Amino acid sequence: MVEGASPEDIVNLFMEHINAKDLDSATSLLSENCEYDNVPMGKVFGRSVIYEYLLPMMERCSEIDWVTTRQAATDGLVLNERLDRFLWPHGWIEVPVAGIFEVKDGEITLWRDYFDLPTYIDQLPAPTG
């Protein structure tokens, strides 16, 4: 929780922490019972569960660069359009994303991302072997 910060400030700080691969700081901005709805892949609930869900992705990538191209905020709701970029050993994966965040009492209570799963999968390396 960040005292005196607007919902948009909190979401922006969350993105900064993700880009810095600082999962501890990023998830500290989530409520204890936050819902993360990674729409094409499913939902998880709770700060610690979200941490464990994101950890393998963070460990796999040498860099993360989530670029917000548009953002609007009103009454605790923040909507953004992003290009989420992940540097894997084989190269960059880039996925257009639409995100919805609900912020209450200085914490993110809902994080929902919409993206096209085949766009992501088609950029993965071919299985070997």
Per-residue pLDDT, 4 = 81
Contact predicate 41/117, CB 8 Å? yes
Query: What is the per-residue pLDDT for 41?
Result: 92
Q: How confident is the model at residue 56, as a pLDDT?
A: 95
**Domain positions in the chain:** 7-121
pLDDT of residue 20: 98
* pLDDT at res. 1: 60
Tens-level pLDDT at each residue, the chain (129 residues): 677 899 999 999 999 999 999 999 999 999 999 999 999 999 999 999 999 999 999 999 999 999 999 999 999 999 999 999 999 999 999 999 999 999 999 999 999 999 999 999 999 888 876
Of residues 25, 3, 5, 125, the one with CA closest to residue 76? 5
Q: From 18, 57, 53, 60, select the one nearest 36 (Cα to Cα).
A: 53
3-state helix, strand, coil in the chain (%, to 5): 30, 45, 25
Neighbours of 65 (CB within 10 A): 15
Domain 7-121 has CATH 3.40.50.300: no
Q: What's residue 128's pLDDT?
A: 76
What's this model's pTM, rounded to 2 decimal places?
0.93
